[in-house]
Chain A
Amino acid sequence: MKSDTTRKYWRSFDERNQTDAYKAEVSREFQDELDVSTPEPEGTSRRGFLGWVGASLAASGLAGCDAIRRPAEKILPYSVAPEEILPGIPQYYASVTQVGGEVVGVLVESHEGRPTKVEGNPLHRGSLGALSALHQSQVLDLYDPQRLRATAANGRALSAAEARALLAEKGAAWAGKRVAFLAEGVPSPQLARLRAAALARFAGAQWFTYESVSDDHQRAATQAVFGEALRPVYGFAGAKTILSLDADFLGGEGPAVAAARQWADTRRVGANKDASALSRLYAVEASFSLTGSNADHRVRASHAQVEAFAIAVAGQLGVSAPAASVVLEDRQVKAAAAVAADLRASGAGALVLAGRKQPPVVHALAAAMNAALGASVRYYPDARRAPDALGDMAAAKALVAALSAGEVDVLVILGGNPAYTFPADAKLADAVKKAGEVVYLADMTNETTAALDAAKAVVVPRAHYLEAWGDLAHIDGQVALQQPLIQPLHAALSELELLAALLGDKDAKGYDLVRGAWKDATGAVGFHKRWRRWLHEGVVDDAHAAFAASPKAPSGLGGLTATAAAAPAADKLDVLFVPSHNLFDGRFANNSWQQEVPDPLTKITWDNAALLSPATAKALGVVERPVDSDFAVDMVEVTLNGATLKTAAWVMPGLADNTVVLTLGYGREFKNYLPYQEGSYNDSTVYGFDVGPLRASAAPFAASGAKVTKVEGSYFIAAVQRYDNSRQHSIEGFENMERPKIVRETTVAGYAENPTFAKPGIIQHGAPMPDKTKFAVLHPEAKSIYGDFDYSQGHQWGMVIDLSTCTGCNACMVACVAENNIPMVGKDQVRRGREMHWIRMDRYFTGDDANPEVVHQPIACQQCETAPCENVCPVAATVHSPEGLNDMVYNRCIGTRYCANNCPLKVRRFNFYNYSKGQDELIHMQRNPNVTVRFRGVMEKCTYCVQRINKGKRNAALNPEVKQQIIDRITPACAQGCPTKAITFGDINNPKSEVAQLKAAALDYVLLSELNLQSRTSFLAKVRNPNPSFPG
């Protein structure tokens, strides 16, 4: 989409048509929202006077031009006083969002009325102050130029008010008609209220809730063993031994942001001398999940063997279990025994988690084992759907059946993209044409809008969560209020407003709906104050909202029996469908941040591929590793139950053999404009492969009996860790060239024995460096030939990254993108090695191909004190600051790229092109005004978020009484966004700071210390906690 500077944006037809009422409204000099009463300093200084002049100008400008699009209702900021908007001073408001029903409270940074970045709300139990990459990326969706602009009905474009009126009219006419609703699994109390109202209003109406990434099995299991559908919340706090049965609790299953934090808290060694209290994580899985990559012992098992493993462990824990239908391999039997013993020894400190891919019986076994062990698991009702609602897959099938049978007169689709996400045997695209009438609340044109019969459909733009009022309940019932920060950019409605309009209230504002309902629910007495506090804090008092945990005991396995399954074989492969870590169920397909952030394990960007284990790939004749110059990978054809899919193949170590892992969410068109996304390597903007045609409602996550064959053709994959497909790669025959270890790791026992093993001069676990590599000994007296700076004064910034708690989830990468206006370059440019992420997530495999261990290592600029980049720049565009930062001066940079060449960590990023060229102006609104948008030809890199440092220093200077507290709270975007708090930032000159204490820790080490870089970023070596009696 080329930019169009003459394009006008309007928020209402009144505005566009400049009606008299509108003119009267805007001609008032001081509108309600704007309070320009800047406190005047003593006496009117020249500066003060100019300030007044500026403010007056700004106000008069505002009266006419909608520069600030704050919602009309009173909203409250979280921590910064709301009475003024000072240009350049962002404000923060609390709100809440969800992806796939997983709720996190957020704090939204707003610059002059534009929300630019979201951070976690520490008071929200789903966030604990952090966000996942997906939640971070949602802010970009707000400004997606492809969003629908107006309601489309009968070939007309309607304003929001007209759409409401039309919907109210329609709702009134639907009496007696057979109405069906299709909603996403959004755990909103208000949506539930309106759902009930709608079902009451339209007699016989059906309400279907569908999420493609479904928890059907968990629901089925809890229904069976507890008599009601419940969701478990695991108490990681005191956990000693955790068994994950295919549960990716770190990678997005359940409340993953909070779970990652709580789990990481049991894994943090930091400056502690004793690591024996660390929890231990076992993961049993067929695919390779983020959780598996963080496990102390990852037991590779086929999909069915996971169940057999659960049965084996359960049996040894005294839980009555059915007989398994597949046999375990010898190593798995031994592993199960070791795991069971460990779990038993941990007692109440044990936790067993079952994954959503696993059949209900595994969930039931997990519940029974947790009950038997006395594990800390609480069960809460599932707020994402009505208690008696059908499961996701059943709902999809039932809806399509009803549509096909002509039993639906009116279909209301509240968000989502069902034509894409529905299972293959519930084809909405065909059936939906049989509905008499369709109302679809959509983000943008998609597979579903394409399937609709335009004459019978009303497509309403859906408001982004930052544009609409609402509320969302966390898994444990904690409710947070969804506070908008901006008036809808387009004529959009929220789910609540659309439902309210259908119910006849055509003037219903989201604000009134939400506030009114909470007022009704909690009483008028003191409500105003309460409401203000809830908005301010972002969460509703638990007394009014939280669910009561049900301390239920499971009744055996609820009659669930072992799944009939056979071991996969070369001609009958297992197929696993996993949600994409980046695009989830496909809803982020138009989000360039999520497209370009690499998958945590495959490191593929912009695509998905069929993942195969090395042995399976070899058997199929699929090339294990792309050759150097040619990144085209082989294509395979997967045939499952008569459906076929041609897809690229990618060899992934650690997968179960004879298993093909397919990632959901791809094969959709990327509709946004990136100036250099098309190149010689890709001529399509459809990235990846839609695996939906293979996905049946009966087997939405795991199917067996597939046939995979290598077929003609190849496909270009843009992966960011090239030549590293299977392991830390080197030239054949020279793999053992002894390099100082980049990632240093030990075990709990190893740490007790030799706590300083990671220190410079020692390159291998436990063993001192051999003499022949003496060069690597960092001499403490080593100096820069140019003389050292005096670092004893002022603030000296530093960072410590804890490899024990970093899960590799990418949240830091996306937080950095949002904060620092990092351009997305597109698949073609990533293929050419020009991705721009300032912080990258290095992933190394160790051990054998079949079942390797993984380490994740975030690498950004290390801010070396003797930075090799600085002395080689001919124009002094990268220079050292007195606070130890390696400053990049964009204005001065002429782009020789010498600094990037000389950077030993290759963290510098060059703007080979003007990557922001021609982008829609809406995208510009996301940009952080405190960070320069870099032009082509300029080098850039991590700055430690120098804009945040300077903001903190300025605030500290303005508030001397809390100076130290403000300085201590300076946090770069990556550290702020890290769900596990693996990144610690601060002033290393202050011995009391956390970062200074961590730098003194025994585990602290600096990368490439043998180069005498004296990096300001250091790492805490990874401490694994393997079970000494685990069978090798």
Chain B
Amino acid sequence: MSDTSPHNKESIFPPPFVAGKHDFHSITEAICGVVEKPLNINWILALGVAGTVMAMLFASIGYLFWEGTGIWGLNNPVGWGWAIVNFVFWVGIGHAGTLISAVLFLFRQKWRTAINRFAEAMTIFAVICALVFPGIHVGRVWAAYWMLPIPNQMAMWPNFRSPLLWDVFAVSTYFTVSLLFWYVGLVPDLATLRDRAKSKLAFWGYGLFSLGWRGANRHWQNYERAYMLLAALATPLVLSVHTIVSFDFAVSVLPGWHTTIFPPYFVAGAIFSGFAMVLTLAVPSRKLFGLEDFITIRHIENMNKIILVTGTLVGYAYAMEFFIAWYSGSPYEGFAFINRAFGPYWWAYLAMVSCNVISPQFFWSKKMRTNLTVTFILSIFVNIGMWFERFVITMTLHRDFLPSSWDYYAPTVYDMSTFLGSFGLFFTLFILFLKFLPAVAISEVKGVMPQADPHWEGYAHAHHAVSNAVSNKEAH
């Protein structure tokens, strides 16, 4: 809490990035300690629960493969249901990681260091969850690989005009770059764990993946350069991946889908949902793993500010959609939006607007922004709201041009078990990550501490120390 920091509320300087009385050693101990402690029963229980839910996902998928897409609630006008909703939902969540890591890195937002590892892991796992869905939702899963441009004797290529194909490229590129970026950032920390390893298995395991890192000056130079390049590579992907996901809808001819606002609106929404998910995970984990000193209220507050901004952007998009629907004079477009708000799925629309537009407005108040309970609850609301946003968009299918083919979509138990199961997959991966990898980037956190400043021991004023901390990190 800021009260415990050397700077009280009246200070004109921002609070430090690490709270508590920490030095380099205590940081290493605190973060590596999570990994090195013996298995704790709560963790095993948590993994058991998440693993069971994940098993439900695989059981649902098994039945889906056995029986066909008909086990879902899809019908003729509504060819895409929860599978696509879930795909977009998880891809959206997968945005915050790269944004926090890459974009904030490039903008020298040093506060990111405490949460970037966390957020990147979340990104990777969310994208894994997302990637499950396009693969399983097709009718003939055994031929799903035809979407990939694999040279074949028939000279049969995918259709490069199809947004779904763009999607394949966009999401797989994003996944690859995010994974690399995450891994590169992990290398120094893996070496730390390797060096502290007490068992042979841990030594070899961490040793293999730390790529012979010795912390040499040259290593650090190459590392910094690689990290910066990957950050620069990943930044446009943050924008492109959800832009292209939005093309799945925007490139169609359907009222309610065929809108140019979709790319920015989807990106804003993705960042919105991504940050919400980071908070949903970070608020309890910092408590459970004793990481309050690293993921401080300042981090939480900053993320809440981003949620407020992106939530309001999304709200603007909702309003603008309605305006354009009216302004375009297209009766189909007009009907599609009136139908969204007042048609049979009015409740989904209401859930979407209240969760995404109304609930973030609480964050105008600093009191709310810095309240952990409020943050956690609102982050859940945003997650729900963003799922409903995708649901509302996808369900636009149910009433399009010819009223004779209008229908209603209702999910089946398999839609639900697949969706719920994807959380099982996500949390299983996440729980494993928390136990086996450093959840906070040790080396980066050290770099933003006052001790990292060569002038730290009384040579300079406090503001100096803070502002120079990262730029002088190379010194270590």
Contact = CB atoms under 8 A, between A and B. Distances in A.
Interface of A: 628-629, 676, 721-724, 728-731, 733-734, 737-740, 742, 772-775, 786, 829, 832-835, 840, 842-844, 857, 859, 868, 871-876, 892-898, 900-902, 904-906, 908-914, 935-939, 1007-1008, 1011
A629 B410 contact: yes
Contacts of B339: 731
B324 to A, nearest CB: 12
A724 B406 contact: yes
Contacts of B332: 739
A707 B401 CA distance: 42
A676 B67 CA distance: 11
A599 to B, nearest CB: 15
Given A722-B407, A902-B252, A912 B69 contact: yes
B402 A898 contact: no
Interface in B214-264: 248, 251-254
B329 A737 contact: no
Contacts of B328: 775
Nearest to A732: B342
Contacts of A728: 403
Interface string B94-108: 000000000000000
Given A739-B335, A833-B76, A901-B397, A731 B343 contact: yes
A869 to B, nearest CB: 10
A739 B400 contact: no
A676 to B, nearest CB: 7
A898 B165 CA distance: 11
Given A898-B162, A912-B74, 10 more contacts: A723-B407, A840-B405, A872-B164, A893-B139, A897-B69, A897-B74, A897-B80, A906-B77, A910-B74, A910-B79
Contacts of B404: 721, 724, 840, 842-844, 857, 859
Contact of B408 (A722, A859, A893, A939): A722
Interface in B131-170: 137-141, 143-144, 146-147, 156-159, 161-165, 168
Contacts of B139: 893-897, 910-912, 936-939
A18 B326 CA distance: 79
B163 A872 contact: yes
B309 to A, nearest CB: 32
B143 A894 contact: yes
B430 to A, nearest CB: 30
A936 B68 contact: yes
A729 B405 CA distance: 11
B33 interface: no
Contacts of B140: 893-895, 935-938
A722 B368 CA distance: 47
Contacts of A1011: 253
B76 A742 contact: no
Contacts of A905: 401-402, 405
Nearest to B405: A906
A375 to B, nearest CB: 38
Given A834-B75, A892-B146, A912-B74, A874 B252 contact: no
B284 interface: no
Nearest to A843: B404
Contacts of B159: 871, 873-876
A740 B159 CA distance: 33
18 contacts: A629-B344, A629-B410, A733-B342, A737-B338, A739-B332, A740-B331, A834-B75, A840-B405, A843-B404, A872-B161, A893-B139, A893-B140, A894-B146, A895-B69, A900-B79, A905-B405, A912-B69, A936-B139
Contacts of A909: 76
A894 B138 CA distance: 6
A728 B405 CA distance: 11
A674 to B, nearest CB: 13
Contacts of A724: 403-404, 406
Nearest to B162: A874
B70 interface: yes
Contacts of B73: 832
A17 to B, nearest CB: 43
B207 interface: no
Nearest to A907: B405
Instruction: Please list the 8 inter-chain residue pairs (A to B) with the smallest Cβ-Cβ separation, ordered nearest first.
Output: A895-B139, A937-B139, A833-B75, A912-B70, A897-B79, A906-B405, A842-B404, A937-B140
Contacts of B161: 786, 871-872
Nearest to B167: A874
Nearest to B341: A731
Contact of B402 (A629, A786, A842, A868): A842
A967 B339 CA distance: 47
B331 A894 contact: no
Interface string B392-432: 00000100111111111010000000000000000000000
A844 B406 CA distance: 13
Contacts of A912: 68-70, 74, 139
Contacts of A739: 331-332, 335
Interface in B84-137: 137
Given A728-B403, A729-B403, A901-B79, A872 B162 contact: yes
Contact of A737 (B137, B331, B406, B408): B331
A910 B72 CA distance: 13
Contact of B144 (A859, A894, A911): A894
B188 interface: no
Contact of A913 (B67, B143, B158, B335): B67
Nearest to B408: A628
B146 A773 contact: no
Interface in B429-448: none
A628 B406 CA distance: 11
B138 A773 contact: no
B26 interface: no
Contacts of A729: 403, 406
A629 B345 CA distance: 10
Nearest to B248: A898
B330 interface: yes
A737 B343 contact: no
A874 B342 contact: no
Contacts of B403: 723-724, 728-730, 742, 844
B130 to A, nearest CB: 16
A910 B254 contact: no
A631 to B, nearest CB: 9
B274 interface: no
Given A859-B402, A868-B252, A912-B68, A875 B331 contact: no
Nearest to A871: B161
A935 B69 CA distance: 12
A935 B70 CA distance: 13
B77 A937 contact: no
Contacts of A734: 335, 338, 342
Nearest to A875: B146
A654 B78 CA distance: 31
B385 interface: no
B80 A901 contact: yes
Contact of A742 (B75, B147, B402): B402
Contacts of B331: 737-740, 773
A840 to B, nearest CB: 7
Contact of A876 (B141, B158, B254): B158
B76 A898 contact: no
B74 to A, nearest CB: 7
B315 interface: no
Contact of A1008 (B74, B146, B401): B401
B120 to A, nearest CB: 29
Contacts of A902: 252-254
Most buried by B among A740, A775, A893, A897: A897
Contact of B330 (A742, A775, A844, A893): A775
Contacts of B157: 876
B401 A904 contact: yes
B233 to A, nearest CB: 25
Nearest to B137: A896
